[in-house]
Amino acid sequence: MPGAGSLNITNFVYNVAPKDGSVLGACQNNVPFEPLFHTLSPGGKTARFDALKFNWVGSAARENFIPFVMADTGVTTLDELRTTPLRFGASAPSTDNAILALMLNRVFNTRIDIINGYPGSTASLIVALEQKEIDGLAGIPWRACA
């Protein structure tokens, strides 16, 4: 199914799929927040589901996302992130780094400018950090740091 990790599968499971336990959906971890944070569509209008009515079965992976900024920014606290504008990188607006940065801005009133368009994996974001194109990432899986 095209879009099977996104709003497409979530809307399908909620609105179309049989409710007999024969269909499971595995959406990206940010999708259930769409009705609350409206990160993927204006006003969250494309989210045609109530996330509170889904049952969580489990996860194939356990990832803890760790936000960070480069040391040369001088930002070491959340309070400083609220007053210091920084550039965070992401592949696209629907990726974890973009969503998590947007959530930091909306929940904690940080001043993160989200720079989308870094291709592919975390590797391109690490290169952008090293080249000082961006100042930090809203999340990198802890497993990538180990």
Q: What is the mean pLDDT of residues 78-106?
A: 91
**In this model, does residue 92 exceed pLDDT 60?**
yes
Beta-carbon contacts of 15 under 8 Å, excluding residues fewer than 6 positions away, are 48, 49
Q: For 65-145, which CATH class?
A: alpha beta
Q: Are strands 136-141 and 65-69 parallel, antiparallel or unpaired?
A: antiparallel
CB 135 within 8 A of CB 73: yes
Q: What is the mean pLDDT of residues 98-111?
A: 91
Tell me the pLDDT of the chain averaged across its residues: 86
pLDDT digits (tens, 9 = 90+) for 51-91: 888 887 777 767 777 889 999 999 999 999 999 999 999 98
CB 122 within 8 A of CB 144: yes
pLDDT digits (tens, 9 = 90+) for 110-125: 999 999 999 877 889 9
